[in-house]
Amino acid sequence: MSTPRTETPGNGSTRRIAVDYLARVEGEGAMYIKILGDHIEHLELKIFEPPRFFEAFLRGRHMGEAVDITARICGICPVAYQMSSAHAMEMACGVRVNGPIRDLRRLIYCGEWIESHGLHTFMLHLPDFLGYPSAIDMAKDYPNEVNMALRLKKIGNSVVNLIGGREIHPINLRVGGFYRVPTKRELRSLVDDLQWARDAAVQSVRFFQALEFPEIELAYEVVALRHPEEYPFNEGRLISNKGLDIDIREFNDHFVEQHVERSNALHCVHRRRGAYHVGPLARYNLNHEQLLPTARETARDAGLGDGVWNPYRSLLVRGVEMVHACEEALRIIGEYEMPDAPALDVHPQAGVGHGCTEAPRGILYHRYRLDEQGVIREAQIVPPTSQNQRQIEDDLRVFVEHNLALSDEQLQWQCEQMIRNYDPCISCATHFLKLEIERE
């Protein structure tokens, strides 16, 4: 257990609490809070993940290699990286993928959402609500729930596995499509499991609903993709609840990455309005009417309504998105016809391409400039966690201000839980979450 170390100097008025690691997030980071009496003097989220310089070494690589290379940014959401890079290259080369290849891309993304949300909701986030250090400890008292979660996660992985070849860093995705496409029969082998998973996801939301959620509602600017007909995965315009409505090509006109001293991850903010929120809450709040029927019904039964502004309730939204991903996967499998070729031919041409897709934890933006041989000359990658980073700090500030009465241990745990609301992937944004609370 990450027990806080409390140091009390002679006069007893200064408290300093340090915890060496924030657990149950992907990657490593630190949080530092200094409290003077009843106000926060200083609060920051530090990210020490050693930089790996993807944007630098992608220069000089061929456009076809970005799909495999950028997957290695994140072992939790490699499909997101493969999708954003492939779409960006296709845009640069003036190619648009439609039909069954497009559907298979949505299908593999469904698998990644089920796997990633299954992992996060049950294994990383739920232990906070039930007061366990880990899902493994929780399994002793909640064996059915943990076993259900493991099976859900496994079914998500099996979708990624079948289409992608393996669950981590799939090998079957490429610019233009796939190396090999599955047969109808292969896809049909997933149906029974996916039906079970859809029902299990509905049950999960019912289980989550009974939990106690801290009372807090925040006036976020939420940003997500919006597609005219679908709950978004790979395509759409970027919109927000504060009037943003842009083509993804205009990303850099509206958002800017800032480099702050405490972090090896760049903070991405809206140029005029600052912090914003991406991920399940944003997707739900902007697109909930496009959820498939069972997911929509599940959301309604859970009382999610037209908007969810309590970040702790992201747990429920992830559950609803699992229901949707299972339903969507079943729909795609039901309508699937094998394409004539596994991939479209994509001929390199000089130009700039943009890709923006919905990773489980929010929008992932890529931009590449290619030369006429298809060699990458410039690369820019903006992961969801660097977009949420500023918002996480803002949330923590509000939460701490309203909960100064909590003991250091409770405050620390609930701050960790607040950070985990975002399912942060610090490996993506870069890593080392160390939590310190200092009171005077």
Partner 1 sequence: MGDRAIPKIAVWKFASCDGCQLSLLDCEDELLAVAEAVEIAYFPEVTRTVVEGPYDVSLIEGSVTTPHDAVRITEIRKNSKLLITIGACATAGGIQALRNFADVSEFVSAVYAHPDYIDTLAMSTPIANHVTVDFELRGCPINKHQLVDVLSAFVNGRKPNVSSSSVCMECKRNGAVCVMVAHGTPCLGPVTHAGCNALCPSYNRGCFGCYGPKETPNASSIARWWNTELHVPHAELARTFRGFNAYAKAFRNESGLHVDATD
- Residue in 13, 94, 136, 189 binding partner 1, rule: CB under 8 A: 136
Beta strands in 346-411 (DSSP E): 351-359, 362-370, 376-382
Q: What is the DSSP letter of 437?
A: E
Q: What is the DSSP letter of 248?
A: G
Q: Does 410 bind partner 1 (CB under 8 A)?
A: no
Burial (CB count <10 Å: 0-12, 13-18, 19+), residue 137: middle
Both tokens assigned to 155: 């079914």
Q: Does 57 bind partner 1 (CB under 8 A)?
A: yes
Stretch that binds partner 1, among 94-102, 135-143, 280-288, 351-359 (CB under 8 A): 135-143
Q: What is the DSSP letter of 343?
A: B
Q: Does 169 bind partner 1 (CB under 8 A)?
A: yes
Q: Shortest distance, CB of residue 107 to partner 1, whole angstroms?
A: 16
Q: Shortest distance, CB of residue 154 to partner 1, whole angstroms?
A: 4
Q: Does 180 bind partner 1 (CB under 8 A)?
A: yes
Closer residue to partner 1 (CB): 137 or 297 = 137
- Residue in 16, 102, 151, 242 binding partner 1, rule: CB under 8 A: 151
- Residue in 80, 135, 329, 411 binding partner 1, rule: CB under 8 A: 135
Q: Does 344 bind partner 1 (CB under 8 A)?
A: no
Q: How many binding residues for partner 1 (CB under 8 A)? A: 68
Q: Shortest distance, CB of residue 78 to partner 1, whole angstroms?
A: 7
- Residue in 63, 110, 222, 266 binding partner 1, rule: CB under 8 A: 266
410, 361, 302: which is closest to 124 by C-alpha? 361
Distance CA 330, CA 338 (A): 16
Q: Does 246 bind partner 1 (CB under 8 A)?
A: no
Question: 193: number of CA atoms within 13 Å, CB side?
Answer: 19
In the sheet that holds 245-246, the strands lie side by side as 223-226, 237-240, 245-246
For residues 16 and 436, the answer to whether their CB atoms sit within 8 Å is: yes
For residues 176 and 290, the answer to whether their CB atoms sit within 8 Å is: no
Residue window 13-52: x/- pattern of binding to partner 1, with contact defined by CB under 8 A = -------xxxxxxxxx--------------------xxxx
Distance CA 191, CA 5 (A): 51
Both tokens assigned to 61: 């690589």
Residue window 58-87: x/- pattern of binding to partner 1, with contact defined by CB under 8 A = -x-xx--x--xx--xxxxx-x---------
For residues 422 and 361, the answer to whether their CB atoms sit within 8 Å is: yes
Region 82-111 residues binding partner 1, contact defined as CB under 8 A: none
Q: Shortest distance, CB of residue 89 to partner 1, whole angstroms?
A: 16
Q: What is the DSSP letter of 124?
A: I
Contacts of 400 (CB under 8 A, 6+ apart): 33, 35, 40, 43, 411, 415
Region 419-438 residues binding partner 1, contact defined as CB under 8 A: 425, 427, 431
Cα–chain center distance at 198: 20
Q: Does 341 bind partner 1 (CB under 8 A)?
A: no
- Residue in 261, 335, 337, 372 binding partner 1, rule: CB under 8 A: 261
Q: Does 339 bind partner 1 (CB under 8 A)?
A: no
Closer residue to partner 1 (CB): 65 or 393 = 65
Beta pairing partners, 351: 370
Residues found near partner 1 in the complex (CB under 8 A)? 1-2, 20-28, 49-57, 59, 61-62, 65, 68-69, 72-76, 78, 119, 123, 127, 133-137, 139, 146-147, 150-151, 153-154, 157, 165-169, 171-172, 179-180, 258-261, 264, 266, 342, 416, 425, 427, 431
